Amino acid sequence: MKQEIKAQKFNWIDISSPTEHDIKYLKKKFRIHPLVLDELINPSPRPRVEPHKDYLFMVLYYPIYNVKTRETSSRELNIIISKKAIITSHYETIPPLKTLFDNCRFNKQSQKTYLSEETGQLLYYILSAFWQNCFKKLEKIDERINNIEKHIFGGKEKEMVLEISLVKTDIINFWRIIEPQKEVLESLLKEGLEFFGESFLPYFSDVLGTYERVSNALETHKETILALEDTNQSLLSTRINEIMKVLTTFSVVMLPLTLIASIWGMNFSRSLPLTNSPIGFWLISFLMFVVSVIMIIYFRKKKWL
Amino acid sequence: MKQEIKAQKFNWIDISSPTEHDIKYLKKKFRIHPLVLDELINPSPRPRVEPHKDYLFMVLYYPIYNVKTRETSSRELNIIISKKAIITSHYETIPPLKTLFDNCRFNKQSQKTYLSEETGQLLYYILSAFWQNCFKKLEKIDERINNIEKHIFGGKEKEMVLEISLVKTDIINFWRIIEPQKEVLESLLKEGLEFFGESFLPYFSDVLGTYERVSNALETHKETILALEDTNQSLLSTRINEIMKVLTTFSVVMLPLTLIASIWGMNFSRSLPLTNSPIGFWLISFLMFVVSVIMIIYFRKKKWL
Amino acid sequence: MKQEIKAQKFNWIDISSPTEHDIKYLKKKFRIHPLVLDELINPSPRPRVEPHKDYLFMVLYYPIYNVKTRETSSRELNIIISKKAIITSHYETIPPLKTLFDNCRFNKQSQKTYLSEETGQLLYYILSAFWQNCFKKLEKIDERINNIEKHIFGGKEKEMVLEISLVKTDIINFWRIIEPQKEVLESLLKEGLEFFGESFLPYFSDVLGTYERVSNALETHKETILALEDTNQSLLSTRINEIMKVLTTFSVVMLPLTLIASIWGMNFSRSLPLTNSPIGFWLISFLMFVVSVIMIIYFRKKKWL
Amino acid sequence: MKQEIKAQKFNWIDISSPTEHDIKYLKKKFRIHPLVLDELINPSPRPRVEPHKDYLFMVLYYPIYNVKTRETSSRELNIIISKKAIITSHYETIPPLKTLFDNCRFNKQSQKTYLSEETGQLLYYILSAFWQNCFKKLEKIDERINNIEKHIFGGKEKEMVLEISLVKTDIINFWRIIEPQKEVLESLLKEGLEFFGESFLPYFSDVLGTYERVSNALETHKETILALEDTNQSLLSTRINEIMKVLTTFSVVMLPLTLIASIWGMNFSRSLPLTNSPIGFWLISFLMFVVSVIMIIYFRKKKWL
Amino acid sequence: MKQEIKAQKFNWIDISSPTEHDIKYLKKKFRIHPLVLDELINPSPRPRVEPHKDYLFMVLYYPIYNVKTRETSSRELNIIISKKAIITSHYETIPPLKTLFDNCRFNKQSQKTYLSEETGQLLYYILSAFWQNCFKKLEKIDERINNIEKHIFGGKEKEMVLEISLVKTDIINFWRIIEPQKEVLESLLKEGLEFFGESFLPYFSDVLGTYERVSNALETHKETILALEDTNQSLLSTRINEIMKVLTTFSVVMLPLTLIASIWGMNFSRSLPLTNSPIGFWLISFLMFVVSVIMIIYFRKKKWL
């Protein structure tokens, strides 16, 4: 589906799920290299900036969190930018892009802000929205981390193992998506200056700055969740070890008693002592009691119980 | 609650828990952008410095340790600074700010020191107090670490697991609060120079230096507590393993004895040897004794006991 | 086997599994130092660039993944490059080199692209293909990592232990092969400029850039697999610990029951209570039932079950 | 206790355990700021350099190893240095300072070396002795590490757990003491140049170099002990696991035998087979033998024994 | 034992196990400072370069692998270098030095290469041989690592624990020996230039380059062995856990059966059901069979078996 906004100095064409028909239209109208148009249809393996004669071609990835599967996946955004047009192409909705595009279509104020200057400025607003939006995701991760912390010290170590693993995987996937894009922003700084002129330096370094804040915040989250994982593991293993120790000690107290009972269960009709005594049973029961008391005292003294 | 101090060249307005009324007053008197005033009322998600035409807007976070819940949380401090006024706004008390403000109100000497020059100097004193005060917190953490160290080697490994986890979480939360503020101080160095002039460079780099000392000390504490956690875990697991080994070995010694007793408990009235012997029981008891002695010697030799 | 392509300004000689005969030919035709020719026949221990008077000698390693043994090993590529000829020598097939060579032999278009300029350009195309090709390998590793992630949270932790170890070893071997070649590319930048002139700077820094992207992607993969390994281990150990706890608790419930049964199995014909009672068995069975219920309630309360 | 050496150009006053009387003397004679004099009496929380109008005030910490408690603690050294005097103040003995002071008092040759020039040079000799002396401590740590290494591979893993923990804590405490002093030496380089003139640059950078060598050596020791701890833990856990496996396997072999014996211990006077057979006991014993042999063979085949 | 080679411009004196006599000879002939000569006889604690008026004094350590004890230890090499002589002194044989010295003595070609220029060049050849030789050691470590990798995935995890620990300790000891020598080479670059003139810059930076390649390769080996250790530990612990789980499950299946047998072993002559039934034993055996089948099915379903 192709949508177009006509601004004073340029057109913004947003294509979602590009069809053969859209590609033909672009080929005809903008003389874009067939290999670039191919990439609009097929998924591109890596984010990058490609300088062409009359335009720049960019491949970006936007991290998106799926509440159902609790997973972070990436959505591809292709941007072709020339002096006269900016073409954004994607398969699935990229929320910050959609918001910006709809604002530019229906809101006069936004049109003034975003579309009154050159394509370079619009690219800046798109990239800026793209990265600013990541902060919201980071805040959600922050909440989940605070939540985990509260539960760990509230005695729910076991339940938190999976939750910690999920948040950690979420952070790592987020990081795997944004990490390779640093290079894109850095090469945009170089290629962009050549293409748009020096006046765009503050714009693009602002975007790089936003990226770096996102990246630092993610790093902080990563270290925090790793430390919490360690903490949880050590609390959990201390607790499990305690339980196992108590259970094992209990078994060990039972064993000699069972041995004693088994001994007087042997069929030595003539030689087994006390069997005919009227208090034999009570004597042996007393013996068992003494043995267990001694063992418990010993274990207490050794601090095993 | 709004409080105001009038100095020679500027006013210091401190607002705690700003109300609609305070906001209107600020709007009317200082022509501050509505979005900035909004942030005074609502919590801001990230620390930052925002340069405006006539003033700088800063969002800072102050780490505060709650003795009851044993947790470190952050309190937000908003600063609006122009040539003629410095406005500090916060919801909860920020101790070093309160001390400074009260000194400036009631102490003539302090007024001379802090209020006789421009707003830039006062900002320096506020930020300086803000970060200097973190050292006291760090010293408390230091004490707790020394305390942990003493107990670990005093045989209280188990009790220290939770204490180590708490101190570690405390350090990490502290770090999570101050880490993103480095960027604020760095951009203050840039924006501040533009706003206040070059003569403020030594002041702001002094604040950055204090921040870096806090940050380094925190890093040292972090590494120390991580090393202590490792040490504690390895001492603890060695001890638990020893206990489990002894208990298991004891069980293993019991088992063959129980088997022997069970064997002579079988109902083979005709074929079970020794059952009618007058010393049968004593022979089997002797057998058990021999078996257990052999096992204990074997385990000793193998160093399992 | 020696193959030769004659271009306008130079010859490309590709030798696979060089024989004595090939070496003699090279010695005669290009006056190459005997020690260099020796290295063509014998494996060289380290990648490097050696500047000689009339030519550069390079030793490179190409990482190759063996689908059968699931291992990454390296294949050596020796390049001798002068103004008039480029000699590539290797024992086993280097896929990207073979593709390039075959293209240059049979495809007119490729000949135009790759062979119309100087040997420096061809070297750039060879190195570029060499490193670009590594991305395909990295994408396969990426797929495997995604696959592992899916299975870990799908409850197949145990099965993933070996798969994670294999992918990790694969990444490490890949890294061990490419890591020492950074230095080669850096010294090529220096030696190459002296040899080919300054116009080759963008070519060789492009190759270095490609290397660095490969290296960064590999680093990302390494951190990801390490985090997944940790996650898997903690999920796995939590699960195993749970199982062991349940099993041990079950044993502990059985033990007192067995003790009770053994006690009433003792041969105290006169003193053992209840033995002649008509409901003795049922009373003891009830006792066992009560004991086991109390223990289960106790363990439930302590959250051990 | 105050001791004084008079050199040609300046006096060296060394005060151990400063009293009120000493403080008054200093106040009267050198016009030192009361806050600085306060710090001579009270412990200072952090190492630092404070430039004053006529003098520099330094707070340093010297790491000292207590052989009895096997702990590394720090001793504070305060230095006040002007053009005409150098005052060193401390509570407990600082060995390298004491050696230097005594040499300067009694040894003519030392006086010539250390006291013939300006206070800057003497400061250099004091700091140099301070840091050079740390090497001796590092060598002792080195010896202890070598000793641990020898014992680990000599089968004393268990005994080494505590020793490793002690050495690690020792290294970490050492590091915690010297780490914050880097900043002191760096700011001395700056402040010192202003105070003493540029000719002192090589002296102070030599001290900084010595500090960095101490710091690097400590880093090496830290990494080494961490690696040894890992090695020890993995050797130890492998050994414990082996023992537990053997013990558990042994229990598992015993259990079916006990079950068999218990089965023929049941009181089924009419239906229990073989009870009246003259070889019943021997048949069951043979059954037990067969069962245990099968289990052992099975465990051997599975490599569990 | 003193050996001497006379070159055109200088003498090379190699002393192994220096005696008092050798020291006197050096003192007399070269006017070397007594403290330096002392160090030739006594072991020096740290590698370093000491510039003196007429000569440089260097202390180096050469890592040597003892095949018998499987340990890496260091051998000290002292070098005194003036314009007219180079003195190498050591206690034990330093293989690369011995090879070079013997070549210079007996091989005319080598004499031409190594001795025809100034002492600076010879120092370069000695240091170069010294560090180049480390690569051979690194290749042996590489082989051992590959060997470990093959065995880990071949099911010999247990046997590899010790081998991994040995290789790791070997790498760490190697690293501990060469790490402090970086500083020596860096200060040689500075002192050496002053002493020998600027033309020696490429020589000494070549040696530093070789050192850095050794250091990088060692770093790669260290990371590889650490990753392999982790992998081995996780494979091993997964395997041990599996075994323990199976063994424990087996015990748990045995326990209720033993309880049943014990129950019918109780001496309730009147109230124990089925004791007089002709099929009592078979009914109870069937009960045991049913109980064990149910448990096994339950454990299978829970994936515990």
pLDDT of residue D206: 84
Q: How confident is the model at residue E234 (pLDDT cuts 50, 70, 90)?
A: very high
| Chain D CA closest to residue E177 | D220
- Min distance B101 CA to chain D CA atoms (Å): 23
Q: Is C99 on the interface with A (CB under 8 A)?
A: no
What phi, psi does B69 have (nearest 5°)?
Answer: -80, -5
**Locus of tokens 């000695």:** E126
Per-residue pLDDT tens over the stretch A119-170:
888 999 999 888 888 888 898 899 999 999 999 988 888 889 999 999 999 9
Nearest chain C CA: its distance from E304 CA (Å) = 7
The confidence score (pLDDT) of residue B127 equals: 92
**Residue A105 C-alpha, separation from nearest chain C C-alpha, in angstroms:** 39
**Cross-chain Cβ contact A252/B257 below 8 Å:** no
Question: What are the phi and psi torsion angles at A186 (to 5°)?
Answer: -65, -40
User: Residue C167's pLDDT is what?
Assistant: 93
Which residue matches tokens 């880097």? Answer: D182
CA dihedral B239, B245, B246, B251 (to 10 degrees): 150
Comparing CA positions, the residue from A178, A181, A175 lying closest to residue A48 is A181
Nearest CB among E175, E183, E255 relative to D213 is that of E183
CB of E162 within 8 Å of any CB in chain D? yes
pLDDT at D154 over 90: no
Q: Give, in degrees to the nearest 5, the angle at Cα A87 between A82 and A90.
A: 145
Q: In this complex, do E261 and D259 lie within 8 Å of one another by their Cβ atoms?
A: yes
Nearest CA in chain A to B232: A234
Instruction: Give the DSSP H/E element, type plus range, for residue B179.
Output: none
**Quick one: pLDDT at residue E278?**
87
- Give me the amino acid identity at D112: K
User: What's phi and psi for E164, nearest 5 deg?
Assistant: -60, -45
pLDDT bin (cut points 50, 70, 90) of residue A72 is confident
Q: Which of A198-202, B247-251, D21-25 is predicted least confidently?
A: A198-202
Cβ-Cβ pairs closer than 8 A, A with B, add up to 118
User: How many CB atoms lie under 10 A from the CB of residue B118?
Assistant: 19
Q: Are A204 and A192 in contact (CB under 8 A)?
A: yes
Residue from E214, B302, B86 nearest C180 by CA: E214
Q: Which residues contact A143 (CB under 8 A, 6 or more apart)?
A: none
Q: Which secondary structure element, helix H or strand E, spans residue B14, and what is its range?
A: strand B11-16
- The DSSP bridge partners found for residue D74 are D63
**Residue to substitute from E235, E238, E243, E301, interface C, most C β-carbons within 10 A:** E238
* Among candidate residues E235, E220, E114, the one with its CA nearest the CA of residue E174: E220
pLDDT at position E76 is: 92
Q: Is B140 on the interface with A (CB under 8 A)?
A: no
Choose, out of A260, A267, A270, A299, the residue to mutate when testing the contact with B (most B CBs < 10 Å): A267
Chain D contact set for E269 (CB, 8 A) = 267
Exposed / middle / buried, residue D131 (Cβ in 10 Å: 0-12, 13-18, 19+): buried
Distance CA E18, CA E91 (A): 7
Residue A38: closest CA among A83, A78, A92, A86 = A78
Taking Cα atoms as reference points, which of E247, E162, B156 lies closest to residue D236?
Answer: E162
Partners of E11 in the β-ladder: E6, E85
DSSP B249-299: HHHHHHHHHHHHHHHTTS--TTTSTTTTSTTHHHHHHHHHHHHHHHHHHHH
CA–chain centroid gap for B118, Å, is 36
Average pLDDT along chain D: 89
Measure D250 CA to nearest chain E CA, in Å: 10
pLDDT of residue B206: 84
Cα dihedral E104, E107, E108, E114 sign: negative
Please name the residue that has the structure tokens 């956690």.
B229
Q: Which pLDDT tens digit goes with each residue over A185-233?
A: 888 888 888 888 888 888 888 888 889 889 988 999 999 999 999 999 9
Indicate the range of A126-135, A280-289, D290-299, E283-292 predicted with least confidence.
Answer: A126-135
Tokens (6 digits) for B44: 């801001």
CB-closest option in E153, E228, E262 to C262: E262
What digits encode the pLDDT tens for the residues E164-201? 999 999 999 999 899 889 888 888 888 888 888 888 88
Q: Rounded to a whole number, what is the distance in Å from the CA of A154 to chain B's nearest CA?
A: 12
Q: Show the 3-state SS of chain A.
A: CEEEEECCCCEEEEEECCCHHHHHHHHHHHCCCHHHHHHHHCCCCCCEEEECCCEEEEEEEEEEEECCCCEEEEEEEEEEEECCEEEEEECCCCHHHHHHHHHHHHCHHHHHHHHCCCHHHHHHHHHHHHHHHHHHHHHHHHHHHHHHHHHHCCCCHHHHHHHHHHHHHHHHHHHHHHCCHHHHHHHHHHHHHHHHCHHHHHHHHHHHHHHHHHHHHHHHHHHHHHHHHHHHHHHHHHHHHHHHHHHHHHHHHHHHHHHHHHHCCCCCCCCCCCCCCCCHHHHHHHHHHHHHHHHHHHHHHCCCC
Question: Cα-atom radius of gyration of chain B, to the nearest Å?
Answer: 35
CB-based burial label for C55 (10 Å; 0-12, 13-18, 19+): buried
Range with lowest mean pLDDT among C95-109, C236-250, D164-178, E182-196: E182-196
Residue B274: list chain A partners with CB under 8 A: 268
> How confident is residue C270, by pLDDT bands cut at 50, 70 and 90?
confident
| Average pLDDT over chain B, rounded to an integer | 89
Give whole-number Cα distances, E16 to E5, E45, E77, E87, in Å: 14, 19, 10, 11
With beta carbons under 8 A apart, name residues in chain C contacting E262: 258, 261-262, 265
Q: Is D172 helix (H, G, I), strand (E, B) or coil?
A: helix
In order, the DSSP letters of chain E are -EEEEE-SS-EEEEEES--HHHHHHHHHHH---HHHHHHHHSPPSS-EEEE-SSEEEEEEEEEEEETTTTEEEEEEEEEEEESSEEEEEESS--HHHHHHHHHHHH-HHHHHHHHSS-HHHHHHHHHHHHHHHHHHHHHHHHHHHHHHHHHHTTT-HHHHHHHHHHHHHHHHHHHHHHTTHHHHHHHHHHHHHHHH-GGGHHHHHHHHHHHHHHHHHHHHHHHHHHHHHHHHHHHHHHHHHHHHHHHHHHHHHHHHHHHHHHHTTS--TTTSTTTTSTTHHHHHHHHHHHHHHHHHHHHHHTT--
SS3 category, B223: helix
Q: Does B256 touch chain D (CB under 8 A)?
A: yes
Q: H or E segment at D71?
A: strand D71-82
Asked if pLDDT for residue D163 goes beyond 80, the answer is yes
pLDDT bucket at C34, cuts 50 / 70 / 90: confident
C73-125 per-position pLDDT tens digit: 889 999 999 989 999 999 999 999 999 999 999 888 888 888 888 888 899 99
Structure tokens at A133: 């939006």
Secondary structure (3-state) at C50: strand
The answer to whether residues B192 and B204 touch, using CB atoms and an 8 Å cutoff, is: yes
pLDDT of residue E188: 87
Residue A38 confidence (pLDDT): 86
CA distance B263 to chain A (A): 8
pLDDT band at C287 (very low <50, low <70, confident <90, very high): very high
* pLDDT score of C45: 74
| D272 — pLDDT class (breaks 50, 70, 90) | confident
- Pick the residue from chain B with its C-alpha nearest to D180: B217
CA distance C97 to C130: 7
Q: Rounded mean pLDDT of chain C?
A: 89
Start-to-end C-alpha separation, chain E: 71
A217 touches chain B (CB under 8 A): yes
Question: Residue A133: its chain B contacts at CB < 8 A?
Answer: none
Whose tokens are 């909860």? That residue is B92
What pLDDT, in 10s, does the model give residues C135-144? 888 988 999 9
Backbone angles phi, psi at E225, to 5 degrees: -65, -35
Q: Which two tokens stand for residue B21?
A: 């009324």
- D43-54: average pLDDT: 84
Mean pLDDT within E85-96: 92
- Residue D110's pLDDT is 86
Confidence tier at D251 by pLDDT (50, 70, 90): very high
* Per-residue pLDDT tens over the stretch B207-232: 888 898 899 889 999 999 999 999 99
Which chains share 3+ C-beta pairs under 8 angstroms with B? A, D
Span B60-86, average pLDDT? 87
Are A277 and C270 in contact (CB < 8 Å)? Answer: yes
CB C115 within 8 A of CB C40: no
Q: Please check whether residue B271 touches D, CB under 8 A.
A: yes
Instruction: Indicate whether D263 pLDDT > 90.
Output: yes
Q: What is the mean pLDDT of residues C1-15?
A: 90
Name the pLDDT band for E206 (thresholds 50, 70, 90): confident
Helices and strands, number each (H, E), in chain B: 10, 6
pLDDT-wise least confident of D97-111, D188-202, E95-109: D188-202
Highest mean pLDDT among C64-73, D284-293, E239-248: D284-293
**Rounded mean pLDDT of chain A?**
89
Whether the pLDDT of residue E70 is over 90: the answer is no
Q: What is the per-residue pLDDT for B278? A: 87
B189 interfaces chain A, CB cutoff of 8 Å: no
pTM for the full model? Answer: 0.86
**In contact, B144 and B72? CB cutoff 8 Å:** no
Q: Would you place residue B163 in the very low, low, confident or very high pLDDT band (cuts 50, 70, 90)?
A: very high
Q: Express each pLDDT in D212-235 by its tens digit.
A: 889 988 999 999 999 999 999 999
In three-state secondary structure terms, B70 is coil
- Confidence band of D147 (pLDDT split at 50, 70, 90): very high
C-alpha–C-alpha distance, residues D304 and D117, integer Å: 77
Could you tell me which of C73, C146, C130, C119 has the C-alpha nearest to residue C96? Answer: C130
Cβ neighbours for D297, distance < 8 A, ≥ 6 positions apart: none
pLDDT classification of A1: cutoffs 50, 70, 90: confident
> Is the pLDDT assigned to residue D70 strictly greater than 80?
no
- pLDDT band for position A65 (50/70/90)? confident
Mean pLDDT in residue range E117-129: 90
pLDDT in tens, C185-200: 888 888 888 888 888 8
User: Given this model, what pLDDT does residue A12 score?
Assistant: 94
Q: Which of A245, A248, A263 sits opposite B261 (nearest CB)?
A: A263
CA–CA dist B19, B1 (Å, integer): 8
Q: Which residues contact E93 (CB under 8 A, 6 or more apart)?
A: E16, E75
Reported as a pLDDT band with limits 50, 70 and 90, residue D1 is confident
ipTM of this predicted structure: 0.82
